Each structure stands twice: as C-alpha cells, then as structure tokens.
Amino acid sequence: MSFGRFVLKRSLQGLGVVWGVVTVVFALRFVTPGSAINAVAPLDASQETRQAIAAELGLDQPLYVQYGQYIFDLLRGDMGFSYIRGQEVVGLVFARLPATVELALAASVVAIALSIPLGVLSATRRNQPVDYGATLFSLGGISTPNFWLGIMLILVFAVEFDVFNTSGRGVDVGDVAVSIVGSDPFVGTLLAWLAYITLPAIALGTYFMALITRLTRSGMLDELGKGYVQAARAKGLPNTLVRYKHALRNTLIPVITVLGLQLGTLIGGAVITEAVFSWPGLGTLVIDSINRRDWPVLQGSLIVIGTSFVLVNVLVDAVYAYLDPQVVND
C-alpha cells in the first residue's frame, strides 16, 4: 500500500469514528431526564414555546427522520440553537475553540520541547544525578492533579510574587503575530500574552512533560541496548550520531502513538485548567453549559471535541507512517 492510500484509508476510518461520535451525541438527547424537549428548552419555557421547539426539532417525527435531520443539519454547519443564551450553537462553539487550541498547543509545544531532551539525557546518563532528578520529576508530574498544580502556581506566582495574571486570556496569539508587522510594540504584546498563558500552559503541560520524559527515557534505554546501535558504534560512527539519529528516531515512534492516544487527556486537562484560570475556551463552555442545562451547546461542544481528537489522530498516524513505512503494510 502506498503512503497516499494509507492516509486515505485512515481518513475514511476517521470519518467513520466521527459518525460514531455524532451518533452518541445524538443519543444523549434520550438519556436526558424527562422528555427530549427538556434537553433544549429553558426550564421556565411556556407550553407554547415547548410545542414550538418540539415541532421545530421534529420531535414529533419518527426516530430515523430525526436522526437523518440531525446529521443533515450538521453537514450544513447547523448545530442547533441555544435558547438559554439566545445564540446559534455553531457561533458559540467556534468562538471558544481558538482559545482552547492555543492553550493546548502552548502546553504541548513546551512539554515536547523540554521532555524529549530530558528523557534522552536521563537515558544516556543513567543512574547519575540528572537521571534521578528526571525520574523524580516525571513520577511527580504524572501523579499531580493539574488543577491543584494550577492553584499552587497561582499561590506562588500571582499571590506571593505578583508576576502573572491568573484569570482570563488577555491578548491572543494572533495579536502577537500581528504586532511583529503592525504598529503595536512587539515586546509589549508578547509580554502581555505571556502574562496570561504561562501559568495555565505549565499547569496543563506538566503531566505531558512528565509522561513523555518517562516514555523517552525507557524507549532510549531499550534502543541503546539493541544490536543495531552496537553495530553502528562498532563501525566507528560518532556517539552523537548513533544516539540522536538512530536510537532517538526509533524511540520517538512509540512515543508519538502514545501521544495521539493521550490527546484526550490533554483536552480533558484543558477543560479543568480553563476552569482554574477562567480561560475562555471550550472547557469553560462545557462546564457552563452543563451547569445551565444548555444541552444543545454541550452537544455541539462534544462533537467539536470528538472530531478534533479524530482529526489529530489521523494526522499522528500519517506522521507515524511517514517515519516508519512498515506500518503502511500492516
């Protein structure tokens, strides 16, 4: 199978999963206590409003018609209407998505950039102080609840030393990019961005940094003990080349798979990190929707979260297949 065919096949599978996600979210209507209208109508809605909503949603129609209509609406980009907020769900959800993506990217970029070198260092200097330090850090990191870490960061860096903001988003990363060419001072905008994003990104990223450090360390130790590494050394290749070109490359392949699977943890972590830092993303929207019983917004958010997960995993698989052409033939 060629690389292109593999990616196409994975994309189609991904589409199937998205269909499953949509079906589960559609079914959520029916696990709501009370009738399906309760899932949409405000609690104090009048009888007329309820009937109007029921007719509009087609709740008087057979189930398969409702289901077909739901999917058809989604394909047109219609996720329904939030009667509680008086807004289209699509607009609400996509207004919040960039903030969450920004936070998740900031957390994972920093986590990956720091953890892979740390894991390699830890493996190549086994049983030396740096290895003990890295092991201890990664054990603590995977065991610390991120919301608590966030509060502790606020306690130290915002309450004791007033260096960071703890609530909201300030400027977004787009403003920083614009300030490079625009009239706003670049450094000032960058600092304003960092003042808001640093603490939530650390709170969210620490678990991943710890996890990747652990995986990289054990993967590197495995690879360095293998025959091809010894053969490369015996051939006289420099140590750095053997370590970073051969061993590290093979270590990263399983690391990437686990990262794809753990993406759900990253999004779940973002939900609670957003709650701690009042970050205006999808996570706060989800929590808020549940507390206000705004089910259409919850459903829309779940579809976007599930679809993003599938999309990133298809991308991860493509990267994986590119790095390790063997998987294409499996």
Partner 1 sequence: MVSARVIRNLKKEFRNSALAKIGLLLVVGILFTAAFAPFIAPHDPTEQQLDQSELPPLGFSETTERTTSQMVEGEIQTVTETVEITPDAAHPLGTDSLGRDMLSRIIYGARTSLVVGVLGTLLAAFVGVPVGLFAGYHRGNVDDVLMRIADVSLAFPSLVLAVALIGLWGRAAVNIPDPFVVAGLAPEMPESFVLPITVVIVVGLVNWVWFARVARGEALSLRSQEYVKASRALGADDTSIIWNHVLPNAITPIIVLATVQVAAIILLESSLSFLGFSGTTLSWGFDIAQGRDYISSGQWWIASLPGLAIMFSVIGINLLGDWLRDSLDPGIEGEGGAA
Q: Measured between alpha carbons, how far is 157 from 192 in angstroms, rounded to an integer?
A: 16
Choices 47-55, 82-90, 111-119, 267-275 (CB under 8 A): range interacting with partner 1: 267-275
Residues of this chain, 32-51, that bind partner 1 according to CB under 8 A: 32-33
- What region, left, alpha or beta, does residue 46 occupy, with left being phi > 0 and alpha being psi -120 to 50 degrees? beta
DSSP assignment letter at 160: I
Residue type, 142: I
Choose between 104 and 232: whose C-beta lies nearer to partner 1.
Answer: 104
| DSSP conformation letters of 264-315 | HHHHHHHHHHHHHHT--SHHHHHHHHHHTT-HHHHHHHHHHHHHHHHHHHHH
**Token digits of residue 203:** 């709170």
The site string for partner 1 over 219-258 (x = CB under 8 A, - otherwise) reads -----------------------------------x---x
| Residue 330, both tokens | 């499996």
Residue 100: which of 280, 330, 268, 296 has the closest Cα? 280
Among 137, 164, 207, 320, binds partner 1 (CB under 8 A): 207
As given in the structure block, the two tokens for residue 69 are 């209509």
- Rule CB under 8 A: choose which of 145, 185, 238, 325 binds partner 1: 145
Q: Which amino acid is at 302?
A: L
Smaller CB separation from partner 1, 287 or 315: 287
Interacting span for partner 1 (CB under 8 A) from 42-50, 134-142, 184-192, 236-244: 134-142
Q: Is 58 helix (H, G, I), strand (E, B) or coil?
A: coil
Alpha helix stretches (DSSP H) within the chain:
3-31, 47-57, 63-75, 89-124, 129-143, 146-154, 173-181, 186-224, 227-234, 239-241, 248-277, 282-291, 295-323
Residue among 13 and 66 whose Cβ is closer to partner 1: 13
Nearer to partner 1, 145 or 188 (CB): 145
The span of 68-76, 89-97, 223-231, 285-293 binding partner 1 (CB under 8 A) equals 285-293
DSSP 82: E
Q: Does 142 bind partner 1 (CB under 8 A)?
A: yes
Q: Which of 267, 285, 297, 314 binds partner 1 (CB under 8 A)?
A: 267
Site of interaction with partner 1 (CB under 8 A): 13, 16-18, 20-21, 23-24, 28, 31-33, 139-140, 142-145, 147-149, 151-152, 154-155, 159, 207, 211, 214-215, 218, 254, 258, 261-262, 264-269, 271-272, 275-276, 286-287, 290-291, 293, 298, 302, 305-307, 309-310
